[in-house]
Every structure is written in C-alpha cells, then in structure tokens.
Amino acid sequence: MVLSAMTLSAADQLKLSDFDFDLPEALIAQEPAAQRDQSRLLALRRSVDGMEHRIFSDIEHYLMPGDLLIVNDTKVFPCRLSAQKPGGGKAEIFLLSEKSPNLWDALVKGGAAAGKRLSIAANISAEVTGEGPDGIRTIRFHGIDDIRQVLADLAKTPLPPYIKREPSDVDRDRYQTVYAAKEGAVAAPTAGLHFTPELLGKIKAKGVQVAAVTLHVGPGTFQPVRVDVITRHRMLGEHYTITAPVAGTINNARAEGRRVIAVGTTSVRTIETAAREDGTVIAGTGSSELFIYPGYRFKVIDGIITNFHLPKSTLLMLVSAFAGRERILSAYRTAVEEKYRFYSYGDAMAIL
C-alpha cells in the first residue's frame, strides 16, 4: 500500500481509541436471523448525509443494471477439535491451514508445547511439532491417513468466541454462504450470509453481474489490534485466488464506468490486493496481508455491503477508510440506538 507523505503522517496519528465506540453486549447477535434476507439493512452514502433503514432483501433497489457484485466463495470447514492432554486436562485444536496431508498450522487452546501429544479420539492423536509466531503451532496427526476424513464427525463449526454458546447443526448451514464453493476458511465471510438463491436471482435478473473471488478467511481477519498506533499492526497472510475470467470481468466493468461493489471486507481486500496502482486487477493466487485503514486510496471498489463490526477491529478501520471515520462512527451510534444486531450473525450495512 502506497500513501502520500502527508496522508501517511496523518495515518500515523490514528490511535486504536479512535475506533472505539460503546457496544452493549446484548447487541452482539448470538443466533442467525430466522430468514437470511430478513436481517435489517442500514444504507449509507459516502457523499450524502443521512441514512435509510431497510430490510436486507431491499438491497436489490440499491443496485443498478450494469453493477458488478463481487462475492467471496470460500467455504468454512469444521475446524475446532476437542482434545485431551497427557495429564487428562482438556484442550482444543483450532485448525488454520493444511501444510501437507496430516500436517497443519493450528492454534491450541489449553496450551501444548512442542513434543506434546494430544488425544483426539480412539487411536487418533495430534503431536505438536513446532511453535511459531502469534501463538501458531504446527500439528501432525497420527493414527489416520488424513484427518480431513473425520472432521465432519469430530470437529465443530468455528463460531467466533463472542457467540457464547456451542455450535449446533443449524450453524453448519447458516454459518455458510449459499454460494460457498471452495473449502478452506475458518471463519465465514459474514456479509454474504444475508443472500438467498432467490435474492441473487432477482439481482441478476435486474442486470447486475455477480462474480466470485476466493479468500480463505483466517486469523488475519479477526486478529485483535494490540498496538496503540494502528499503523504498527501487521495483518497475518490469508490465501486468495482470482481467476483470469473474473479479473477480466472486473477490468471490463471499470473500463466501461460500471460500479464494482464488494460483498464483505474479505472481497474488498482480495480485489485491492490484486490491483495495480491504475486499478487493473491481476489474476492469480497469493497471500493477502493488506491492512486498510483511513488514508488508503481505493483502486477498484465503488461500494461495500458489510456487517456491523466490533470496536477497535481492523474491519471497522477498513469501512472507516472507505466512508470516513466520523461518518461510520455516526452510523454505528445510530445502529446502536436503533438496536441493530452486530457482527457475524448480525445485520447489514450498504455503503454506496
């Protein structure tokens, strides 16, 4: 990311406290809405004061023929494995990414140093073979040819820690977008949870194009910011893919002056990571470590459909970069007053 000297100087003044707001715990959604597209929608425009309160199914009225809607088609896999330590204590292995068959990067709750073995199930164990930065462990599974064979039976859906309940069978469906296709995420691209096949059909019938990129959501997206000066925060890399046809579709839309609207912050970061300074999107596979905060110059995106994010999060910083920090914080204060539901299973915002 390239910032001008003046912009960089201004960004260096941004503190973590600049992205704080009062969020009653009761507004953090614990369950999905009864119907995906019946969540609430707050519509905000970057250049006009005021906002509108709608239902998410009304999103089609904010989209125009010729718009290009970009979604993230990553698929969440069950990755929370209960384990037992050698002394009998409980542990949990949170799988992150597969390095090779039966060798994974993971987080381990309950603690486990290199060389320790954790029991998973009869004859299946996990050996901690290495310790890396940011608490990430390397885990090798024993007693089974491929741990993926049993994840559906042994592992839980990776609901975020602020959802204060155990995952249920409902979450296997609802903590997944209807267009999820490529398995590899440990958290859902939650802005997409509001879409139904019927709503997408209406949007397409209106003349809106829909294209998919892939970013496998990992710790980089939800990692807390632990520094006071936000420019010192570093995002962990997350694997992404943009196919040549999709890159061509985005570039054609821009060349023709049509709007490119991203569904979710992960779609935003994928596209902006792959964009040259002139806005041309390059097809390929890579790792996105892009941290977007106020001062960033967007090269491609004209609109964002997103959820409401937690205080002091990198996601809140991203939407603040797009719409302006004061405008976003004002909208969030209104959302709190109006009792919108926040975060993964919460309500939605459209910034156009």
Which string of DSSP letters, residue by residue, matches 46-58?
Answer: SSSS-EEEEEGGG
Q: Does 56 map to a domain? A: yes
CATH of residue 104: 2.40.10.240
Is residue 292 over pLDDT 80? Answer: yes
Express each pLDDT in 256-280 by its tens digit: 999 999 999 999 999 999 999 999 9
* Token duo for residue 274: 């792959």
Q: What confidence category does residue 1 fall into, taking pLDDT thresholds of 50, 70 and 90?
A: very low
**176, 321: one domain:** yes
Is residue 89 over pLDDT 60? Answer: yes
**246, 110: one domain:** no
Q: Does 36 map to a domain? A: yes
Q: What confidence category does residue 133 fall into, taking pLDDT thresholds of 50, 70 and 90?
A: confident
**17, 101: one domain:** no
> Which of 101, 123, 156 marks a domain boundary?
156
Nearest-5° angle of CA 206, CA 208, CA 211? 145
Q: Does 161 map to a domain? A: no
121, 293, 298, 325 from 229: Cα distances, Å: 44, 12, 22, 16
Is residue 7 over pLDDT 60? Answer: no
Mean pLDDT of the region 136-153:
95
**145, 286: one domain:** no
Three-class SS state of 317: helix
* Token duo for residue 155: 């592992």
Helix axes 265-273, 314-323, angle to 10 degrees: 70
Mean pLDDT of the region 206-212:
98
**67, 138: one domain:** no
Residue 176 has what DSSP assignment? S
Is residue 3 over pLDDT 50? Answer: no
Q: Does 139 map to a domain? A: yes
> Which of 97, 123, 156 marks a domain boundary?
156
Query: What's the domain count of the chain?
Result: 2
pLDDT at 197: 98
Express each pLDDT in 324-352 by its tens digit: 999 999 999 999 999 999 999 999 999 99
Q: How many residues does the chain have?
A: 352
**300, 262: one domain:** yes
* Token duo for residue 350: 């459209």
Express each pLDDT in 219-256 by its tens digit: 878 788 999 999 999 998 999 999 999 999 999 999 99
Q: What is the mean pLDDT of the chain?
A: 93
Q: Does 162 map to a domain? A: no
**103, 223: one domain:** no
Q: How are beta strands 137-142 and 209-215 bridged, if at all?
A: unpaired
Alpha-carbon distance 30 to 16, whole Å? 26
pLDDT at 9: 53
Say if residues 163 and 190 touch (Cβ distance below 8 Å).
Answer: no
Nearest-5° angle of CA 196, CA 246, CA 264? 45
Alpha-carbon distance 142 to 117, whole Å? 10
Is residue 8 over pLDDT 80? Answer: no
Structural domain boundaries, residue 84: 80-156
Q: How are beta strands 103-109 and 137-142 bridged, if at all?
A: antiparallel
Is residue 5 over pLDDT 50? Answer: no
**215, 248: one domain:** yes
Mean pLDDT of the region 150-163:
93
**263, 305: one domain:** yes
Say if residues 208 and 233 touch (Cβ distance below 8 Å).
Answer: no
* Token duo for residue 262: 């991203």
What is the percent of the chain with per-residue pLDDT over 70, rounded to a whole number?
97
**Nearest residue to 305 via CA among 141, 71, 76, 107:** 71
CATH of residue 56: 3.40.1780.10
Is residue 201 over pLDDT 50? Answer: yes
Q: Does 164 map to a domain? A: no
Mean pLDDT of the region 318-323:
97
Among the residue ranges 7-11, 31-35, 121-125, 131-135, the one predicted with the least confidence is: 7-11
Is residue 307 over pLDDT 90? Answer: yes
> Which of 130, 156, 182 marks a domain boundary?
156
Express each pLDDT in 37-64 by its tens digit: 999 999 998 877 789 999 999 999 999 9
**131, 270: one domain:** no
Q: Does 50 map to a domain? A: yes
Alpha-carbon distance 204 to 34, whole Å? 24
Q: Does 217 map to a domain? A: yes
pLDDT at 10: 63
**92, 60: one domain:** no
Residue 298 has what DSSP assignment? -
**98, 180: one domain:** no
